[in-house]
Amino acid sequence: MTALKGRSVALSVSDAPDRARLGLPAREVDRALFSICTVLVRAGAKIVYGGNLDPNGLTFSIFRHLTGAYASAQESPFIHIVPEPILRGVSFDGLVFALREGAAVVETQIHIEDALLPIRAVEDGLRIGKGGPTIRLRNDAEFKSWLNARQILDSVSAYSAARKAMTEISDARVILGGKMGLLNNPGDAYQGAMPGIIEEAIFALEAGMPCVPLGAFGGAARDVAIALDLLDISKRVPRGEQLPTYGPSLEQVAFLRARIPDALRPALEALADDDRGEPMAYDIADALERWLSQKTSARS
**What local confidence, expressed as pLDDT, does residue 295 receive?**
79
Mean pLDDT value of segment 68-77 = 67
The enclosing domain of 248 has a CATH number of 3.40.50.450
Number of compact structural domains in the chain: 1
Per residue in 151-165, pLDDT tens? 999 999 999 999 999
Say if residue 127's pLDDT is above 90: yes
Q: What average pLDDT does the chain have?
A: 91
Say if residue 291's pLDDT is above 80: yes
Rounded CA-CA distance 118/222 in Å is 33
**For the chain, first and last CA: distance in Å?**
20
- Please give the angle made by the CA atoms of 213, 60 and 53, to the nearest 5 degrees: 95
Residue range of the domain that includes 72 = 2-299
Confidence of residue 298 (pLDDT cuts 50, 70, 90): confident
Residue with the larger pLDDT of the pair 59 and 53: 53
Say if residue 74's pLDDT is above 90: no
DSSP letters, 128-158, are E-SSSS-EEE-SHHHHHHHHHTSPPPPHHHH
Strand ranges in the chain using DSSP code E only, listed in sequence order: 8-14, 46-50, 78-82, 106-112, 115-122, 125-128, 135-137, 172-177, 211-214
**What local confidence, expressed as pLDDT, does residue 65 receive?**
67
Per residue in 162-202, pLDDT tens? 999 999 999 999 999 999 999 999 999 987 789 999 999 99
**What local confidence, expressed as pLDDT, does residue 77 receive?**
86
Q: What is the CB-side half-sphere exposure of residue 269 using CA atoms within 13 A?
A: 12
